[in-house]
Structure 1
Amino acid sequence: MDCELEVTVKLLLKKAGDSNSFIRQDADKALDSMVQHCTPSQCLHALLAGGLNDRNKAVRNCTAQHVADLVTKIGAARIVSGAKDITDNLIPAIGKLAQDTSPEARLFGRQMLLFLSAEPKFNKVLDKYLATKELATIKKIVNTLRTKGLNNEPVNPRSAIGQRPQPGNGTQKGPSLNRDHYSSRAQTQSVADKNHYIEQLSGLMGSKDFKDRIQGINQIVADSQNYPNVFDAISARLTESNSKVNLHTLMVLPEIICALEENMAQVVNTLVPAIVDSHLNSKNKPIYCAAVRAIDALISNLDNTHLLQLFCNKAMFLNGKAKADLIDKVAAIVTNIGNRKPQMVKQRALPLLWHLLGISTHSSSTHNLCNALYIEMGSELAECAMSQPLNIRQTLNKILSSLP
């Protein structure tokens, strides 16, 4: 699909300026699907080529909205890192949108500037990729955004296009969040402000429109460091029936996990089952791969002692590839913490090993776990097995004898 994006997106953007609201909504949905499933750099190129300079402000509004969605998906850190085909195209485009004559497109552009401005390399990126005559204007806009935020902008960015009918209420706008009010000034907010934020976020998460729920997820990504307590809302999005919301949530999880690190420990007991039970056996390859990446992010960013018991319990009762995947993850954790938490490894990983050795079939994952435990415990592993039934001891000896 990537090779056909430019032509397809140009046509869809034209439909975004159609007078028929149903046509606009269908075009918007198609562009949303593109942003979620196609290569980000290709999406970006197609959107900018098709709509950035269009004379129709509705087309520019639509372009700005989906570019903003891409910015959230790609992540600020990657954008300011100078990623080829992304940073060099995106930064000038955001600068242009931030000065657009359309209030909607202008607001999207300024939201993106504010989102990126938190990155330490942001000013260097502006210097490198913006023309000299434009640089001073954009820096002035950024300084204003940092001090005053977006409060003076009259338009909700998600209301630019694609408003959807709600049953019984006619056409309504979904609830919206203001990034400046809830992110840039988070350090000085009162308890009332935070409660108001959580109420509005709950409104997004509870919306019947899946796009509003995705917007809520994106808001959590943007504000996760300031509002870690709202992260529990993510688990509900992982277990709902809409696969688009599931996938989007899984895809942004690594970014949230990296931002929160050890603060994630308080939610892993809810989060891990939501990932594992719902998605680690998924036949949908993008969802399965995203679930694996989320689990890997947890292992990389948290003290693995928070995960060992949870992974062992899940691996014992799962079936299919999810069981094999989690056994491999337990083996990795054993290697990570074996030297500093030997007793914990014995108490929590050995029951899983005895369970695996007691069943009729033994996968390569069982061999991996056995190898990891043998490396950490040596001959003590066989000694611990002496209390187990004969068939388990025999299987263990057979596996150990086959290890390199």
Structure 2
Amino acid sequence: MDCELEETVKLLLKKAGDSNSFIRQDADAALGSMVHHCTPSRCLHALLAGGIKNCTAQHLADLVTKIGAARIVSGGKDIAGHLIPAICKLAQDASPEARFFGRQMLLFLSAEPKFNKVLDNNLATRELAAIKKIVNTVMTKGINNEPIDPRSARGRRPQMGNETQRGNETQRGSSLNREPVNKTNRWTQTVADKNHYIEQLSDLMGSKDFKVRIQGINQIVADSQNNPKVIISNIHLVFDAISARLTESNSKVNLHALMVLPEIICVLEENMAQVVNTLVPAIVDNHLNSKTNTIYCAAVRAIDALISNLDNTHLLQIFCNKAMFLNGKAKADLIDKVAAIVTNIGYRKPQMMKQRVLPLLWHLLGISTHSSSIHNLCNALYNEMGSELTECAMSQPLKIRQTLNKILSSLH
């Protein structure tokens, strides 16, 4: 798809301005899917080549979050040289929506120490003063307080009777995004108040507008990178909110939450041990059997990020429990993950293997013998336990002992 991206995006941007609201919505959804699934650099060039239009703003903001501030600021002319002028143009646009997302991107990038130098290198002298004034304003006062509802801003017809409610909700829900997130400003001081932070995050994550909920997810990503102590001090409440987004009915929100999880997990590392019993079921129960390949792959990446970034002993029990009762490819995937964990920690946690993994193995051998995942688990356990595995099996029914011996004979 990357090869045809530029022409496709030009057509989608044209359709995003169509008079038919259904066509506009479908075009917007296609652009959002592109941002989440295609190569970021290709997406960036395709969006910029299509022209800086009102409908480009939020997709560009999502892409900036995905690429990351550090990469953009250090990306040289190939990234910053094209992106910074476009963002600055949006930040001064006549449209309130475009201006909002332009300033949101400036705020996101301003946390990087080299940001001012990047502005100097990529803007004309006559533009610098105005842009630096805007940056200073959003860092000290937040993004302007005009309510932004992306649906109504793009001409989508709101439901009768809900206009005032939705406008108030969006203004209230967007307050977290309007505040600075870099480490030295007043927002960091404000979020020391746990209740205040969670209240505002809840407004975003509980909004009726799915795009505002996605903004809430992006805010957690930004906070985890720029001020992880805020997330860690509120970790249970934050991941309750993320788990709720993983289990809601909107697949766009599900996918976005899944895709940014590895980024959050890589920052929080061992702190994630506190929430695996909430997070893992939200991922595997809802998405590891998904028929949508992008959602399934994103779920696998999230699980792999947990395995890579925290002590696997924290994951073993929940993985074994889920592998015992799930069905389909999710069951096979989790059995393989358990086998990998056995290889990672079996030598230092032999008792844990016996207490947590062997009950799973006996259960699996009692119901099936043809799964390659079960063979992998038997092999991993035998490599760690040797003949002790067959000794432990002596307490099991004859059928299970015979099945285990047959599998081990075929493996060795």
Match of residue 398 from structure 2: 390
Match of residue 150 from structure 1: 142
Provide the rounded CA distance (Å) in 1 between the counterparts of 2:340 and 2:187.
38
- Provide closer, same or farther for how the CA distance between residues 154 and 204 of structure 1 changes in structure 2, counting only shifts above 3 A: closer
Structure 1 counterpart SS, 2:175: coil
Provide the rounded CA distance (Å) in 1 between the counterparts of 2:67 and 2:78.
12
Q: Are 1:223 and 2:249 an aligned pair?
A: no
Aligned length: 394
Which piece of structure 1 moves more, 139-148 or 245-254? 139-148
Match of residue 176 from structure 1: 174
Maintained 8 Å contact 1:386/1:393: yes
Match of residue 269 from structure 2: 261
Maintained 8 Å contact 2:138/2:179: no
Unaligned runs of 5+ in 2: none
- Provide closer, same or farther for how the CA distance between residues 146 and 303 of structure 1 changes in structure 2, counting only shifts above 3 A: farther
Maintained 8 Å contact 1:25/1:162: no
Provide the rounded CA distance (Å) in 2 between the counterparts of 1:85 and 1:392.
60
Measure how far apart 1:237 and its partner are.
1.4
Paired-residue identity, %: 75
Measure how far apart 1:292 and its partner are.
0.5
Match of residue 10 from structure 1: 10
Provide the rounded CA distance (Å) in 1 between the counterparts of 2:401 and 2:137.
67
Q: Are 1:342 and 2:355 an aligned pair?
A: no
TM-score (norm 1): 0.83
Structure 2 counterpart SS, 1:51: coil
Measure how far apart 1:170 and its partner are.
3.0
Provide the rounded CA distance (Å) in 2 between the counterparts of 1:342 and 1:135.
65
Paired letter, 1:108: F
Aligned pairs (5 A) from 1:4-403: 4-14=4-14, 28-52=28-52, 59=53, 61-80=54-73, 82=75, 86-87=79-80, 89-98=82-91, 104-119=97-112, 122-123=114-115, 126=118, 130=122, 133=125, 140=132, 144=136, 148-151=140-143, 153-156=144-147, 161-162=153-154, 165-170=158-163, 172-173=166-167, 174=170, 175-179=173-177, 181=179, 183-184=181-182, 185-189=186-190, 194-224=194-224, 225=228, 226-227=230-231, 228=235, 229-403=237-411
Q: What are the superposed Cα offsets for residues 204-228 of structure 1, whole Å, 9 maximum, x if unpaired? A: 3333332222222222222242233
Provide the rounded CA distance (Å) in 2 between the counterparts of 1:291 and 1:22.
30
Provide the rounded CA distance (Å) in 1 between the counterparts of 2:130 and 2:348.
51
Measure how far apart 1:197 and its partner are.
3.6
Maintained 8 Å contact 1:308/1:330: yes
Provide the rounded CA distance (Å) in 1 between the counterparts of 2:125 and 2:65.
28
Maintained 8 Å contact 1:356/1:362: no
- Provide closer, same or farther for how the CA distance between residues 107 and 204 of structure 1 changes in structure 2, counting only shifts above 3 A: closer
- Provide closer, same or farther for how the CA distance between residues 101 and 195 of structure 1 changes in structure 2, counting only shifts above 3 A: same
Measure how far apart 1:230 and its partner are.
1.8
Measure how far apart 1:267 and its partner are.
1.6
- Provide closer, same or farther for how the CA distance between residues 261 and 380 of structure 1 changes in structure 2, counting only shifts above 3 A: same
Paired letter, 1:358: G
Measure how far apart 1:162 and its partner are.
3.1
Which piece of structure 1 moves more, 30-39 or 213-222? 30-39
Maintained 8 Å contact 1:25/1:163: no
- Provide closer, same or farther for how the CA distance between residues 246 and 45 of structure 1 changes in structure 2, counting only shifts above 3 A: same
Maintained 8 Å contact 2:13/2:27: yes
- Provide closer, same or farther for how the CA distance between residues 2 and 396 of structure 1 changes in structure 2, counting only shifts above 3 A: same
Provide the rounded CA distance (Å) in 2 between the counterparts of 1:23 and 1:290.
28
- Provide closer, same or farther for how the CA distance between residues 35 and 236 of structure 1 changes in structure 2, counting only shifts above 3 A: same
